[in-house]
Amino acid sequence: MILDLQFKIKNNPLYLKYLRENSYWYKILNRNPSMFSEFENKVKEVYKLRTTDKISKAISTIEMVQNIVSSLK
């Protein structure tokens, strides 16, 4: 694996955690470093770090607060 890629992985604990849980990515990244963007997308998908996931979480939090407030009335 190229050194630059190793630094990116070591500096991000989520990348490192995902890589340890899914070790097949070692082989993929070692053979084809250009797959790193796909690796990043997969990590974001699994740990729900995408923008759509954040929006969904905010909406569900707002709905929960509205339900609590409406039940207190």
User: Could you give the CA distance from residue 20 to residue 14 in angstroms, rounded to a whole number?
Assistant: 10
Q: Which residue has the higher pLDDT, 72 or 11?
A: 11
User: Could you give the CA distance from residue 40 to residue 32 in angstroms, rounded to a whole number?
Assistant: 14
pLDDT tens for each residue of 18-72: 999 999 999 999 999 999 999 999 999 999 988 888 898 899 999 999 999 999 8
Query: How many structural domains comprise the chain?
Result: 1
pLDDT score, position 34: 93
Q: Which of 32, 6, 2, 34 is nearest to 19 (CA)?
A: 6
pLDDT score, position 36: 95
> Who contacts 47 (Cβ-Cβ below 8 Å, separation ≥6)?
14, 18
pLDDT score, position 53: 83
pLDDT score, position 1: 78
Q: Phi/psi class of residue 29: alpha, beta or left (left: φ > 0; alpha: ψ in -120 to 50)? A: alpha
Domain residue limits at 52: 3-72
